[in-house]
A and B are shown apart, each in its own frame.
Chain A
Amino acid sequence: MGRPVDLATAAAKLARFASRLTENIGEIATSPELQARVDRLAGQVGPHGVDPFGFDPDYLKKYLGFAVWIYRHYFRCEVRGVEQIPDGRCLLVANHSGQLPFDAAMITLAAFLEREPPRFFRSMIERFVPNTPFVSVFMARCGQILGTPENCLRLLRAEEGLLVFPEGVRGLNKTWKDRYRLQEFGQGFMRLAIETETPVVPVAVVGAEEQAPALLNLPSVGGLFGMPAFPVTPTNPLVPVVGLLPYPVKYRIYFGAPLRFGGDANDEDEVILGKVQEVRATIQRMLDDGVAAREHVFW
């Protein structure tokens, strides 16, 4: 007897929540402060509203409201050290985790929302993205580019900022037992940094590991869907699709002091690897400190 009534009130509650949410997002999106920040990026854009790589600040405005809502109200990002990001060419090097790359968006937003003046970092998209309808356009208009060495060199020489995850999917799709343990780093970023004399800013993200704790990963199952991984979390695949959405953990993003590297970009692997390890050790230390300092995963 009571069931239909309960359903109705639940639906009404849900609808109220949804309308409050959209209202909230709309408020954020149209806030003059946010609009002004986006407009401050517009200097790099040509007469047709895009930069040569396809980045379109007006397009960004449409989706930024939702992203900022996630940043402020869902993950409630706490940011330290954002003032350490220098002007001009810059590489943000971060740990990668959480099955879905929300960490990339949150780091980018941190540098965009908290830094003065705002900077919009580009991250490197995977090779399958340019082949994917809609996603390819979305990524390009948001300033993301394919991670080829030529693209990176060109952007750094143009004094732009890049966000890289040297762990790649190894970090993104690692399982619970490896949480906050950095996986092997690629060397590409270090050769780029040396060649272009770009400062490397180490970034540690604490919280993203718990947004989707993977008990195990079945890449062969993921292959069936054309994805590099298939994480089994407490909710995925029990609740399909929704089960993969991140839990409302609290994000803590730490920016470290810029590291500068000299030498020869075409040096032996061992020499480059030594410098890569220096960055990796710094990020691992920042991660350990961050994990030790937090009192709770969710707040």
Chain B
Amino acid sequence: MRILLTGIAGRLGRRAAHRLRRHHQVIGIDPRPCPALPTDVIHHRVDIRRRPAEDVFRQGEIDAVVHLGVVHNFRIPAERLYARNVIGTETLLKYVSKYGIKKLVLLSSGDAYGPMPTNSHFIDEDAPLMGSQHFPEIRTLVAVDRTVQSFFWRHPDIETVILRPVHIVGPNVRNAPSKYFRLRVIPTILGFDPMVQLIHEDDLLRLVEAALQPGVRGVFNLSSTEPVPLSRILKILAKPTLPVPHPLFRLFLEKAWKYRLTSFPAPELDHIRYNTVLDTTRAREVLKADPERTLYEILEPFRSEDADYVS
């Protein structure tokens, strides 16, 4: 299969290229430079919104598109983020239908549901996407998910897959949860201990590959682990924790974000305050995605160096 991979220059994108090229031919598209790619992976340094991107589709005889190129960096001004994520995705969808590509896999995020105190405990794929209600910065991520959902309904002939993973962690990713677990002293919110799920970066890529199988379509929540209280995770990490009252913590983060002293936007705090537990039954049944890694294995790279081995 010839697969077009957006966002190939990202950490997850590069890892995805290495994995997918074992069984497929991989063509990457990303305006950023991407050194050290295997020689059989072609990288087009072009923005999907620019005209040369269409040439990639025109010449490529592409069988499937894996859309990993949704940008999560909230330092980027809102209008640029909108152009890159929403306009970029719309352009991509236009080419997918125009050039008769049979498969589209979007990497969305479980964050799109939003951690909220009024959520039902388990969130299934039909739940509304409320994530941007208290976290306006992620509205482009929610918009991308919705755009692809409507594309799914408008094009029954194209197998469209939307993946909504829980917090992605792993030695190679640099997202908020991974950075949080890498802290030397881990702050928590005093009096809160929500249920948390994690997915290992390689488990995620295995599921992306599973989603490429013919016949797979629709929305899937993804997770490697069963939900556990955040406190259990921190215990396995064996790092000192610092419980902070929520109003104080939020005020501090808002100021620190403003002065560029932190990479955590304040609304991310809701992830360590409220439950967001995704129901992954559908993925287990359709993608045959039984967890390959235990919580201990996933957390191993984040554990304190002087921690005893627990198992």
Contacts and interface: CB of A to CB of B under 8 A. Distances in A.
> Do A and B originate from a single complex?
yes
B120 interface: yes
A148 to B, nearest CB: 4
Contact count band on B: 20 to 34
Interface stretch (A43-51, A67-75, A241-249): A43-51
A277 interface: no
B117 interface: yes
B contacts with A: majority SS: loop
B118 A146 contact: yes
Given A136-B191, A136-B192, A137-B191, A151 B226 contact: no
A146 B195 CA distance: 14
A80 B12 CA distance: 61
B267 interface: no
A137 B118 contact: no
A205 B118 CA distance: 30
A48 B122 contact: no
Contact of A150 (B122, B228, B232): B122
Nearest to B233: A48
Contacts of B120: 146, 148, 150-151, 154
Interface string A47-86: 0111011101000000000000000000000000000000
B226 A52 contact: yes
A27 to B, nearest CB: 29
A53 B191 contact: no
Interface stretch (A16-24, A125-133, A258-266): A125-133
Contacts of B228: 46, 48, 50
A48 B310 CA distance: 12
A49 B192 contact: no
B242 interface: no
A184 B118 CA distance: 25
B72 interface: no
Nearest to A59: B229
B193 interface: yes
From A49, A50, A132, name the one whose CB has the most chain B CB atoms within 10 angstroms: A50
Contacts of A279: none
Nearest to A154: B122
B166 to A, nearest CB: 13
B274 interface: yes
A127 B274 CA distance: 13
A163 interface: no
Contact of A48 (B118, B121, B232, B246): B232
Given A137-B193, A151-B121, A154-B121, A49 B232 contact: yes
Interface of A: 46, 48-50, 52-54, 56, 127, 130-137, 140-141, 145-146, 148, 150-151, 154
26 contacts: A48-B226, A48-B228, A48-B229, A48-B232, A48-B295, A50-B228, A52-B277, A53-B195, A127-B118, A130-B118, A130-B274, A133-B191, A133-B246, A134-B191, A135-B191, A140-B193, A141-B229, A145-B121, A146-B118, A146-B119, A148-B118, A148-B120, A150-B121, A151-B121, A151-B122, A154-B120
Interface of B: 117-122, 189-193, 195, 226-229, 232, 245-246, 274-275, 277, 295
Given A52-B121, A146-B117, 18 more contacts: A46-B226, A48-B226, A48-B232, A48-B295, A49-B232, A50-B228, A50-B229, A52-B195, A53-B195, A54-B227, A56-B229, A127-B117, A130-B275, A131-B117, A133-B245, A136-B191, A140-B193, A150-B120
